[in-house]
Each structure stands twice: as C-alpha cells, then as structure tokens.
Amino acid sequence: MIGIWQDYAVFYLVVAGVAMLGAFGLPLLLAPMSWARLMRWEVPPPGQLVVFLGRSLGVFICVIAAFAFRVAATPQSQPFFFELMLWIFGGMIALHVYGAIKKTQPITETFEIGLWLFLVLVTLLFYPAA
C-alpha cells in the first residue's frame, strides 16, 4: 500500500504546497486573527503575542510549502520530505486529539483530526518508496 501512487509524487508535492499556502500559511501569516475567527476560535482583543505566534506559524507553514515545490524537482530529497510531512501530520493529530480531550479548542479543530489522518494516508500512498 505504501507508495502505490509514487509515480505522481511530484504532482502531490505541488498540490500539497499550494494547499499549505492557501489554507494555512498565508492566512496565518497575513491575518492570523481573521483566520482564527474563521476557524471559530474565541478571539479576545488581540495581544501582540497572539498575533506574533500566529504569524510565526504562518511563516513556518509557508517555508514548508516552499520546500514542497523545491523538493518536487529534486527526486533524491523526496523520501526525506515525505517523512518530514508524516511527522508534522502525526504531531498535528496528537495536538488536536489532546485539545479535543481537554475540550480547549473549537469543534472545527476537533474535526481537523480527520483531515490530518486523511493527509497521513494520502502521503503514504504518494510516498516515493525505493
């Protein structure tokens, strides 16, 4: 099952990069509080720390997305990048499960658990296995 679509790994990396930029990276970088409201977070008057942390996360996601495009053109780097994405997605699953158990996040964040599980599965299917 792992890597059954590996011939399309480059396509997947480009789609993943665009999706990361559009859904998370740029919105968090440019308008973290608006993104939080859209995701149904309770948003108090923004403090500088909250805005800074949102933008920091946005920068991180934009860098990961940019590397998805770069790695798409570098086949020897693809297994490492796919593994990195799997670790990130696994961390996001753990983070969102913890938030759901503690009831410290809006329902949209709990629903994200399904998104991260789906991304793990799809990433495994496109994994460029040797």
Greater confidence, 96 or 37? Answer: 96
Tens-digit pLDDT profile for residues 12-61: 999 999 999 999 899 988 988 888 889 888 877 767 778 888 889 999 99
pLDDT-based confidence at residue 10 (cuts at 50, 70, 90): very high
Whether 28 and 41 have beta carbons less than 8 Å apart is answered as: no
Mean pLDDT of 72-100: 94
Hey, how many other C-beta atoms are within 10 angstroms of the C-beta on 76?
A: 8
Rounded to two decimals, the pTM is 0.80
Whether 113 and 95 have beta carbons less than 8 Å apart is answered as: no
Place of tokens 């920068």: 59
- Return the DSSP state at 7: G
Tens-digit pLDDT profile for residues 105-128: 999 999 999 999 999 999 999 999
Give the side-chain half-sphere CA count within 13 A for 61: 23
Place of tokens 């696994």: 90
